[in-house]
Amino acid sequence: MDGIISNIQRLSLHDGPGVRSTVFFKGCPLRCAWCHNPETYTFGRELRYNKAKCIGCRSCISACENARSAQACENSRNFSACKQEGARALTSGETGLRYDKSACRFCFACAGACPGGALAIAGMSLGVDGVLAEVMEDFTMYRRTGGGVTLSGGEPAAQPDFCCELLDALAAREVHTCVDTCGFCKTETLLRIARKADMTLYDVKHIDSAEHKKLTGAGNELILDNLRALDGEGIEIEVRIPVIPGVNDGGPNMSGIARLLSGLRSVRSAVLLGYHKLGQSKIYNFDMNGPDPGAVVPKKAEMERLAAAMREISGKPVSFR
């Protein structure tokens, strides 16, 4: 079984206890306005485009046209569209490259031909052994620091079978595991995955469902129900709350989340995650995912104030970064 992985980040310090490797799964059911990982939005491998690196040489367009032969299309997902008269995935326009995804065969010959690195492939297909080959290189570091491997994304629960197989393989090697989830999935799927991990990192973005839908594209009823279901299982949980100034950092939202946490016995701690603009630098222009919400990075003093207020209401350890 293969999974679609966006990236494997080694020596990670913020995705669970100790020094860890974080495996970023591709595909997410939510569309958060502030997303820090927009390259994990969609499922499957896809083409990324950094216009700033384009030198206008048209090598990618030539590679795309050459790759339209029957032999090159043999393993494509869209062979019929590729063979249509006049269909071109890449063309040149006044504002740079134009991309017609419906005509793309996803062979990525264009990315291989790009000398400036403007085109790249987002996502790679890996089996469990392929992931293990990389993350197990730091096994000694995990033991030394109390670390391990975290499955993040995107959303690991969107690839549940691969996620479970990988968790089983890591458990067999006595590696501590965390699953970082948005909680927007079937309850039985979430519990199946969480029971195989040592710890769950659970995102809570807004306490009000209508506001949650405006900000992420979905209401929060299922997410909060799943959090309560996890708590009933006695699974160790760390709740993570993004702090987006002017978006979700208001008193009613934060105090509402704190009151929710106060009644959850398995929530050992909470972490406030301050907004940063890293995600904006990773947006690829073809799909225009993740428009800038216009937020600013929260000040340390404000994060300290929010953490102290939430500690008082929730009775839980609350940190920030």
The overall average pLDDT reported for the chain is 89
Residue scoring higher pLDDT (296 or 242): 242
The pLDDT, as a whole number, for residue 70 is: 46
Last residue of one domain, picked from the residues 78, 95, 122: 122
Percent of the chain scoring above 90 in pLDDT:
69
The pLDDT, as a whole number, for residue 87 is: 64
Task: Residue 106: give the domain boundaries.
Answer: 46-122
Q: Predicted confidence band at 293 (pLDDT cuts at 50, 70, 90)? A: low
Q: Are residues 104 and 152 in the same domain?
A: no
Residue scoring higher pLDDT (300 or 73): 300
**Region 26-55 average pLDDT:** 87
Q: Are residues 170 and 184 in the same domain?
A: yes
Highest mean pLDDT among 69-73, 118-122, 251-255, 280-284: 251-255
Taking 80 as the threshold, does the pLDDT of residue 314 lie above it? yes
Which residue, 145, 133, 199, 126, is CA-closest to 20? 145
3-class DSSP state of 139 = helix
pTM confidence score:
0.87
Q: Are residues 256 and 163 in the same domain?
A: yes
Separation of alpha carbons 116 and 251, rounded Å: 47
Q: Are residues 29 and 52 in the same domain?
A: no
**Region 269-286 average pLDDT:** 75
Q: Predicted confidence band at 206 (pLDDT cuts at 50, 70, 90)? A: very high
The pLDDT, as a whole number, for residue 71 is: 43
The pLDDT, as a whole number, for residue 216 is: 95
Q: Are residues 117 and 129 in the same domain?
A: no
Q: Are residues 230 and 81 in the same domain?
A: no
Q: Are residues 192 and 145 in the same domain?
A: yes
Burial of 308 (0-12, 13-18, 19+ CB in 10 A): exposed
CATH assignment at residue 74: 3.30.70.20
Q: Are residues 105 and 251 in the same domain?
A: no
The total number of structural domains in the chain stands at: 2
Highest mean pLDDT among 88-97, 175-184, 271-280: 175-184
142-183 tens-digit pLDDT: 999 999 999 999 999 999 999 999 999 999 999 999 999 999
The pLDDT, as a whole number, for residue 85 is: 45
Q: Are residues 285 and 174 in the same domain?
A: yes
The pLDDT, as a whole number, for residue 43 is: 86
How many other C-beta atoms can be found within 10 angstroms of the C-beta atom of residue 58? 15
Q: Predicted confidence band at 38 (pLDDT cuts at 50, 70, 90)? A: confident
Last residue of one domain, picked from the residues 80, 107, 122: 122
Q: With contact defined as beta carbons under 8 Å apart, do 151 and 163 qualify?
A: yes
CATH assignment at residue 136: 3.20.20.70
DSSP 263-301: T-TTEEEEEEEE--SHHHHT--TTTT-S------PPPHH
Taking 70 as the threshold, does the pLDDT of residue 291 lie above it? no
Q: Are residues 261 and 174 in the same domain?
A: yes
The pLDDT, as a whole number, for residue 41 is: 86
Separation of alpha carbons 256 and 254, rounded Å: 5
Last residue of one domain, picked from the residues 106, 122, 138: 122
Percent of the chain scoring above 70 in pLDDT:
89
